[in-house]
Structure 1
């Protein structure tokens, strides 16, 4: 979720009332502030509790994580035929929708089909490396996007130069973190399929670390200068989202095994804050939004638009369960394959890689500047 928004606004605009997605505390908690509380606590958990806590974090992570993937499909493929035809969308955005919505999934399906049919487990294993690459990139862009969203809501816009500093720092930190996971050639497994990291030369790690440190310092100086120029005013929730995404969720996440379990849930919570607000505005825009539900038993939930938002959330949870668990497990029972080569979880492997990688491409289209739906519904 990377929104490239306008430059600094005039003083009259900057003085406008500040807005929130849901409220100051909820925004802080969902956009990244929860990590400042949860991750330190997990770091000091006694070893005797780690097994039970690991299971709890694993279940909680999927309870939050899977619906956020489902929501991206709900939003992206809504009125997809109109998007493909370019009705109300610019030519560039139309092409992006076609590539991300049709070309990319077909290309990935062909890759997995070829690797499976030819018995090439090594080739399929390389997809895990690709997932790690794109997931880190996605975290960076979403953290940056959250900062831009909060900047618009608070009327504290960033200049083009400031945004370049933020983006460069994000990519530098992510690249250094990703290279660190490939210091030596190591055999690992993901859902029973082996894959290999590769050996990055030490001098390249040193260069990447130096660039990441310098860009982090530049970003810190930029934030301080803006704080001084604007009388101590910053889009603080967005700043927290940006800093947490880069450093707590990417650069230092390997400091504690429990962090690796909970970070996907925190990242998804960040995403859900924006998506739920966006969908609420979509439903409020309908002509019958404030009418009472037809069933009196449902009237306790309020206007009909709230029921529709709730239905959206439930459908997202169902899609997540289907995509990550139910469909791949059913395919494993229905479609024979060489378990001696691929193990017993081939379709779980394919589903998890496919959804994680495709999610990056979907978000890269949906939340772009110039998307009429984002402009209409996200900042209301």
Structure 2
């Protein structure tokens, strides 16, 4: 799960000062500000209400988490033939589309097919740890990407040195968080299957801690310097997104059991802010975008492009339900396997990990500087 977007001063000059994805308050809440409001409240909620919070987040998953995954597939595989043929895309980007869109899912499908066929629970369990590894990577890269997006919209750019500091800090915090969950060989359960953590040496964890502290300090100093150079102004919503992604959603995610249940929805909401804005600009580019839809009863929704954006969102919700529930349910009913060894939720386990990991590879291609669609539609 990554929004790997490294935009800079070469981005479209049409972006006006003070421009937002949706507005100052909405951007603040969707990009990460809601995390600062929700986390303190969760500390006041007794742990015996964990079941109620979990049930609520299941509903939220249908509305936020699943569509956020589905939207990446809708965008990535749209006009996929043109992308893999290199029509309008440079050679490097063409190869990335082929790798992420064809090679990676085939490799993962073969991996899970072998693990399930051989009932190799340890091999499948390591896939869960790999998912946690990529999820952390995705979160911090998306936080960095959100900061770069807001910087372009506000015309408050970071130079190459600033970006290196931000990226180094992102990776340092991510590695520290991942090592904190791998300080000893432990065993847990995920959808009924056991997964294992690694015994990372304590000296490596200590080095990671020092690196994270040092890079955080360097980042704070850089932001102060940038604030002065930018006329005492910064892309504040982007900074909120960056801080929330690194520290609240990754580094201290385990500070409260209830917080662990909420973080995925907040991360997904951050992603949706960009995707919905992007898709709105795509639909506005159509020749008939400003016309009224037919039949006339639909005109209450506004111009035709709004109806198409709504269709994109509804399609994402339906695709999310299909991927996370219907497909694994049907696979469980039709494909025989050793339930005594692998449990009754094997295909839910496989599909969830597959989509999470593949989502990272998809986003790593789509939201890159140099992708013509990003430069054309994201900053309008």
Superposition TM-score tier, normalisation by shorter sequence = over 0.9
SS of 2:7's partner is coil
Could you say which residue in structure 2 is the equivalent of 1:159?
159
Verify the 8 A CA contact 2:16 2:153 in the aligned structure 1: no
Contact 2:31 2:146 in 1 (8 A): yes
Return the alpha-carbon distance in structure 2 between the equivalents of residues 145 and 36 of structure 1: 19
Secondary structure at the aligned position of 2:189 is classed as strand
- Displacement, 1:289? 0.3
CA distance in 1, matches of 2:320, 2:360: 16
Unaligned runs of 5+ in 2: none
Is this contact kept in 2: 1:58–1:262, CA < 8 A?
no
- Give the structure 1 partner of residue 49 of structure 2: 49
Is 1:269 the equivalent of 2:269? Answer: yes
- Give the C-alpha shift of residue 58 in structure 1: 3.4
Alignment-derived partner of residue 84 in structure 2: 84
Which residue of the partner structure matches residue 123 of structure 2? 123
Q: Kindly provide the CA deviation profile for residues 228-276 of structure 1, in whole angstroms up to 9, marking residues without a partner as x.
A: 2222200000000001100000000100011111100000000000000
Secondary structure at the residue paired with 2:195? strand
Give yes or no for contact 1:367–1:374 (8 Å, CA) kept in 2.
yes
Residue 350 of structure 1 is matched in structure 2 by: 350
Q: Paired residue for 2:322? A: 322
> Aligned partners of 2:189 and 2:47: how far apart in 1?
25
Deviations along 1:91-130, whole A, 9 cap, x unmatched?
0000000000000000000001111111211111110011
Bigger shift: residues 308-317 or 120-129: 120-129
Q: Per-residue deviation at 1:15?
A: 11
Please say if residues 62 and 321 of structure 2, whose CA atoms lie closer than 8 Å, have aligned partners that are also in contact: no
Deviations 1:55-94 (A, max 9, x none): 2133324431000000000000000000000000000000
What is the aligned length?
377
Please give the TM-score of this superposition, normalised by the length of structure 1: 0.97
Structure 1 residue aligned with 2:8: 6
5 Å matches for 1:362-373? 362-373=362-373
**Partner SS for 2:275:** helix
- The answer for unaligned runs of 5 or more in structure 1 is none
> Does the CA-based 8 Å contact 1:100-1:365 persist in structure 2?
yes
TM-score (norm 2): 0.97
Give the deviation of 1:8 after TM superposition: 9.1
Q: Give structure 1 regions of 4+ aligned residues with deviation exceeding 3 angstroms.
A: 13-16, 47-50
The separation in 1 between residues aligned to 2:21 and 2:47, in whole angstroms, is: 38
Q: Distance in 1 between matches of 2:205 and 2:47?
A: 32
Query: What is the aligned-residue RMSD (CA, Å)?
Result: 1.5
Distance (Å, rounded) in 2 between the aligned partners of 1:31 and 1:195:
32
How far has the Cα of 1:47 moved from its partner? 3.5
Q: What CA deviation, in whole Å up to 9, does each residue of 1:18-50 have, x standing for no partner?
A: 211011111111000010101111122134433
